[in-house]
């Protein structure tokens, strides 16, 4: 049985806590590895070493740090297939989806090559008589990232790239469900020239998380996961005086106006609702057609598209639309919520509950589901299902559809499909959601913009990647300098006097 440890001081090391967790092959349901779960003592020792290594790394000029990022981009591209294979085998994503996971993380590392520009301060000449004023952006010291299972490459790269480029040491606590890719990325960082100890990867569970939250040396923490855990980490981290950004759950609505291109909207919903088995915080899980005629036309187009979806293992290559969910517990929770939807009166138009794949009967596969006539009081509407389930909530007006999305407790992403520019503009201006798509179903910003939601989808005041990442991982120091005038000629301190 494969044993997975930690990455400490530039090398793979075994855990010594005596505790492990199972790493499954989601396609077969078999345990393929055991991952070590770190103790508080292991975490604290790694942080102490990171703090020592950070001193020299933080003093390295930004351009040299950027060159490490540049080399890391080359190495990730070199090993793209190897990384994607490891990712798919532990998460279950299709191979193209796994490569997309890595690519979106890689784009943030590309952005980090511009760190010297992003870390520049400001300067005011002659702010007063003989007085200059300037600001410095300096690393916080040691930062940490607690990242989720659904993007085991992208989110770790989003977190560690800006933190390292800004001159910090970084403690990464990835998901214990798919830990191999973060360790592979750490090895590539070393190969790219990152000094030992600057990046530490600690695998673990709640004990490691709590150790991060309580460690006095760690100054900043980034988290992506469910809203209850985001609230917990944000509250405990802030109480301990840390800078914290936490990104939680989502329930993303897509409004379909009567004038929308229905085929375009249907294709968008299938990709955004069922891609990656729905295990994406930016997945569209609620379709909101305006008017019964629009709803009927949309459902008519969705049914054949959904029924044609191919579900299977990542080893099937491009012949598969999505793979299994990550664990048996995740599958059970999805099917429980589907049954709740049926029990509460929603119409299950496409029923994937009995889906089974020959030869993979023990895998964590979930067939696609489509609900119609969902109402806001139902559990399948209120809760994030995180699976291949699309709910349709019919509305009779644009204002009703807008209010539906605005009243939901989550505000991560949303979209509208329409041919009318005035409607789209009004939607973008009024909606209380962080990321908005206009005829774009998954409006994930590119790396040089920032990623983040509103309401209970986020805790903290700065977003991920883009300029906000460098603001989060640095502190501003402002200097006011005055050099009193002296007698320059004939003074003891001049070159002639020193000859």
As annotated, the active-site residues are: 281
Q: How many CA atoms lie within 13 A of 184 on its CB side?
A: 19
Helix (H, G, I), strand (E, B) or coil at 142: strand
Helix (H) or strand (E) holding 12: strand 11-13
What's 207's DSSP letter?
A: H
Query: Which residues have a Cβ under 8 Å from the Cβ of 300 and sit 6 or more positions away?
Result: none
d(CA 465, CA 452): 9
Long-range contact pairs involving 260-267 (C-beta distance under 8 Å, separation at least 24): 260/294, 260/417, 260/418, 260/419, 261/417, 261/419, 262/294, 262/297, 262/298, 262/301, 263/301, 264/417, 264/439, 265/298, 265/301, 265/417, 266/298, 266/301, 266/302, 266/305, 267/305
Per DSSP, the three-state class of 495 is helix
d(CA 363, CA 350): 21
SS3 content of the chain, % helix, strand, coil (to 5): 40, 25, 35
Cβ–Cβ under 8 Å, residues 473 and 65: no
DSSP-based three-state secondary structure for 32: strand
Sheet of 474-482: strand order equals 123-128, 131-139, 474-482
Number of other residues whose CB lies within 10 A of the CB of residue 379: 14
Q: Say which residues have a Cβ less than 8 Å from residue 175's Cβ, sequence separation at least 6.
A: 147, 148, 149, 152
Question: Looking at 14-75, which runs of residues are DSSP E strands?
Answer: 20-25, 30-36
Using the Cα atoms of residue 258, residue 263, residue 268 and residue 269 in order, give the sign of their dihedral: positive
d(CA 259, CA 176): 46
| Token output for 13 | 């090391």
CA 136 vs. chain centroid, Å, equals 28
Scanning the structure block, which residue is given the tokens 């060159």? 67
């Amino acid at each position: 049985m494969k044993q997975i440890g930690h990455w400490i001081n530039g090398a793979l090391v075994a855990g010594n806590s005596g505790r492990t967790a199972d790493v499954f092959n989601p396609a077969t349901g078999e345990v393929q590895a055991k991952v070590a779960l770190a103790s508080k003592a292991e975490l604290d020792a790694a942080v102490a070493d990171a703090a020592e290594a950070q001193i020299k790394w933080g003093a390295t000029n930004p351009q040299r740090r950027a060159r490490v990022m540049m080399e890391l981009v080359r190495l990730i591209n070199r090993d793209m297939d190897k990384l994607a294979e490891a990712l798919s085998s532990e998460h279950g994503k299709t191979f193209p989806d796994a490569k997309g996971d890595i690519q979106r993380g890689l784009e943030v590392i590309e952005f980090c090559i511009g760190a010297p520009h992003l870390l520049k301060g400001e300067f005011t000449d002659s702010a007063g008589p003989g007085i200059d004023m300037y600001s410095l952006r300096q690393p916080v010291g040691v930062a940490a990232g607690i990242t989720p299972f659904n993007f085991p490459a992208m989110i770790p790269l989003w977190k560690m790239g800006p933190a390292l480029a800004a001159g910090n040491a970084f403690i990464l606590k990835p998901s214990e469900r798919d830990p191999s890719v973060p360790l592979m990325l750490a090895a590539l960082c070393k190969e790219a020239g990152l000094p030992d100890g600057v990046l530490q990867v600690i695998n673990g569970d709640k004990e490691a998380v709590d150790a991060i939250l309580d460690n006095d040396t760690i100054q900043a923490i980034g988290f992506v996961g469910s809203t209850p855990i985001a609230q917990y980490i944000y509250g405990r981290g802030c109480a301990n005086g840390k800078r914290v950004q936490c990104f939680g759950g989502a329930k993303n609505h897509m409004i379909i106006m009567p004038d929308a291109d229905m085929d375009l909207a249907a294709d968008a919903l299938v990709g955004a609702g069922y891609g990656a088995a729905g295990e994406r915080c930016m997945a569209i899980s609620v379709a909101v057609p305006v008017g019964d005629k629009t709803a009927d036309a949309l459902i008519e187009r969705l049914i054949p598209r959904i029924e044609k979806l191919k579900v299977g293992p990542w080893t099937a290559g491009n012949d598969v639309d999505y793979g299994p969910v990550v664990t048996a517990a995740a599958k059970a929770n999805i099917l429980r919520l589907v049954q709740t939807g049926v029990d509460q009166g929603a119409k299950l138009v496409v029923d994937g509950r009995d889906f089974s794949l020959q030869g993979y009967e023990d895998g964590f596969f979930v067939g696609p589901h489509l609900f119609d006539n969902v109402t806001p009081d139902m559990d399948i509407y209120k809760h994030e299902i995180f699976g291949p389930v699309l709910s349709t909530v019919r509305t009779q007006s644009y204002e009703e559809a807008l209010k539906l999305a605005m009243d939901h407790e989550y505000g991560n992403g949303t979209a509208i499909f329409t041919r009318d520019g005035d409607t789209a503009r009004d939607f973008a201006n009024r909606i209380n959601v962080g990321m908005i798509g206009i005829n774009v179903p998954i409006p994930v910003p590119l790396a040089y913009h920032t990623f983040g939601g509103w309401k209970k989808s986020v805790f903290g005041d700065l977003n991920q990647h883009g300029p906000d990442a460098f603001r989060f991982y640095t502190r501003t120091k402002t200097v006011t300098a005055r050099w009193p005038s002296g007698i320059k000629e004939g003074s003891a301190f001049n070159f002639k006097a020193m000859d």
